[in-house]
Structure 1
């Protein structure tokens, strides 16, 4: 039985953010009798003051070690003091922060020397055959590994591209990632996984070897097209800056003209992004984190993804497609799908006027909505777990 270790920043919970959804796909597709899976969690975002990591994960693995914890086993975890303070802040102080003024954007964090040592010690105990590492930020000293242990980077994004995109929008990414820095880290890995063909081509153009393109997979959650009896909208997002920034842009620049044309339209917002959005916008329901958002999708006609900066595949779009929802987004938001055409379920609008025009046209055209809903489900089928599992198997 092969031993496989995944080094993640956070537990990849169900219905989590994009990073979590992608990481969880790897566990799901490796989780069978041929492999023993161990997780090493490096972050300090915890699920409670005392919790069962295996239960939170809801996916059976051999072991889970949370290194930033006072006590950590697969079945039991007590957060560190930092983790407890984070939990307290998120529960009692969320929303008591200003948004939209701060130009400094956190895109990740490097492991501390102590964290790198802890990861290495855990891996020494497990003696794995393969180690998957969640982005360049979780990299550690590979000389501590057994000579025959394969190392695989789960890229998630080309971070120097993301930094360039943010700088062009007047933002200050932290940490700042240059091509030289990122490519230097990536070159240490035997295999590299890119989430889009675009990202894979960038790696290869810089002479990175053994690049594999594995788009995030999704399973259909709807099997008939939306009935188009509603005009309401749906948005899903974490509290990441590009989500907050994009949604606030939509609410301030697009939403007023939508409501002026049709005061009955409602926007449903799901996810931790709700913590940083003011409750002052008319006809906007901030629902927060939900175990399932399928019922909201059932009463929505269209999804939106008004992203203005960043790079890589927007995994929320997969959730939209899997629920039979056409999506209106920017060219940046459509990256990794190549389906931004008039006849496809992903429609492009790069400015406020176009966004409003496309949105209003679509929600008042029930026949076209039904057609695009059908196309959304068809497109979701291209991102199947079977295809993902097959490509992942070749790496293992």
Structure 2
């Protein structure tokens, strides 16, 4: 029920599709998928089954067949049979099984086989490369947990894409990678923009009291590495030119080390914000100093939706079409990133910097993109 997935559910419902959804909770997911979130999910789906992630011996045994993340979401034979019976009883006709992200790959493939319908897979990353990089960037126990997910991932990921009637890749770059390996059943499907953030750009102007805003997961190793680079090598350069510049860091799951560091620098931290739109509304310039990752950075899409200047790196612009990248200020060296940030803040303070991107956001990141790929025959590019 990540933001990208829940937005897609809303769009599918708006397009007239009846969606019966399956999600998971358990462990670190419990505080993320609470009763409020479940109620929101039930409001946009025809039905919702919530399963528990397996963290016991059966998961370890299933790792002989599947990567760890997938093994933890492979129900027992009894549970699968009960789930299949519930799904069959709810639906008079089923058009497809849509697997949104690699975690549900084994169960989704099994359900499609049992129900005799096409399997559609949504790829968020080249997972085996993304997870290997995340493991390299992580520290302590997190490194071991992420590394366990790399085992068997490349083989499973390719097999899932091969078996799918169609796979829909978040990134045009990643789609090219898979086509180079011989997989021709892939289509590009960009992420959806958040309607609440788009409304910020279209709504009345509010007082912008924050010069710079970063908003993203504060537990992801790639985001933490990017922030570390920005705070150590870029922000001092910005402050040397604009001593009164204001920066806010916001996002889910910040650790104590980051919180302590920001406190020492007198940089406000907004932990686990309930919604993003208000934070974006009060900021002049959006920052995404990410140095690692694959797929498409959802942060970048959300930042573009604000209509405000966005300063990012080549990784932050990865996987997006050229006309969208042209709306970003891209810099990969500390000195050029700092200069771009100073210029953006200076212009925004003077009342400039805003861009009407509404038409582009609807064309590239609107619900029509899903309508097009769902209507596309498997034989067409």
TM range (shorter): 0.7 to 0.9
Report deviation, 1:53.
5.5
- Relative to structure 1, the CA distance from residue 205 to residue 304 in structure 2 (aligned partners, 3 Å threshold; closer, same or farther) is same
Trace 1:157-236 onto structure 2 (pairs within 5 A): 157-163=125-131, 174=147, 175-176=149-150, 179-218=154-193, 219=195, 220-221=198-199, 222-223=201-202, 232-236=211-215
Report deviation, 1:312.
1.0
Q: What residue ranges of structure 2 are gaps of 5+ in the alignment?
A: 57-66, 89-93
C-alpha distance in 1 between matches for 2:186 and 2:268: 42
SS in 1 for 2:317: coil
Aligned to 2:369: 388
Aligned to 1:261: 241
**TM-score, reference length from structure 2:** 0.76
- Relative to structure 1, the CA distance from residue 147 to residue 292 in structure 2 (aligned partners, 3 Å threshold; closer, same or farther) is closer
Aligned to 2:346: 364
- Relative to structure 1, the CA distance from residue 67 to residue 168 in structure 2 (aligned partners, 3 Å threshold; closer, same or farther) is closer
Q: Figure out how many residues of one structure are paired with residues of the other and give that number.
A: 342
1:335-367 per-residue CA deviation (whole Å, 9 max, x = no partner) reads: 1224599x9431111122221121112211349
Contact in 1 for aligned 2:73/2:103 (Cα 8 Å) = no
**Larger deviation, residues 58-67 vs 170-179:** 170-179
SS in 1 for 2:11: helix
- Relative to structure 1, the CA distance from residue 378 to residue 328 in structure 2 (aligned partners, 3 Å threshold; closer, same or farther) is farther
C-alpha distance in 2 between matches for 1:358 and 1:110: 42
Contact in 2 for aligned 1:251/1:281 (Cα 8 Å) = no
**TM-score, reference length from structure 1:** 0.74
- Please, what is the CA RMSD of the aligned residues? 3.6
Contact in 2 for aligned 1:234/1:267 (Cα 8 Å) = yes
Q: What residue ranges of structure 1 are gaps of 5+ in the alignment?
A: 1-11, 13-19, 70-79, 83-106
Aligned to 1:353: 335
Aligned to 1:330: 313
- Relative to structure 1, the CA distance from residue 225 to residue 310 in structure 2 (aligned partners, 3 Å threshold; closer, same or farther) is farther
- Relative to structure 1, the CA distance from residue 337 to residue 112 in structure 2 (aligned partners, 3 Å threshold; closer, same or farther) is closer
- Relative to structure 1, the CA distance from residue 259 to residue 116 in structure 2 (aligned partners, 3 Å threshold; closer, same or farther) is farther
- Relative to structure 1, the CA distance from residue 43 to residue 51 in structure 2 (aligned partners, 3 Å threshold; closer, same or farther) is closer
1:72-129 per-residue CA deviation (whole Å, 9 max, x = no partner) reads: xxxxxxxx999xxxxxxxxxxxxxxxxxxxxxxxx98223375364456413431343
Of Structure 1 and Structure 2, which has the larger fraction of its residues in helix? 2
1:169-192 per-residue CA deviation (whole Å, 9 max, x = no partner) reads: 798652226644421232121210
Aligned to 1:123: 84
Contact in 2 for aligned 1:130/1:150 (Cα 8 Å) = yes
C-alpha distance in 2 between matches for 1:134 and 1:156: 8
Trace 1:94-173 onto structure 2 (pairs within 5 A): 109-112=69-72, 115=75, 117=77, 118-119=79-80, 121-127=82-88, 128-140=94-106, 142-143=109-110, 145-146=113-114, 148-163=116-131
C-alpha distance in 2 between matches for 1:52 and 1:223: 28
Of Structure 1 and Structure 2, which has the larger fraction of its residues in strand? 1
Aligned to 2:64: none
- The equivalent position to 1:55 in structure 2, one of 15, 22, 39, is 39
Trace 1:264-283 onto structure 2 (pairs within 5 A): 264-275=244-255, 277-279=258-260, 280-283=263-266
C-alpha distance in 1 between matches for 2:323 and 2:370: 27
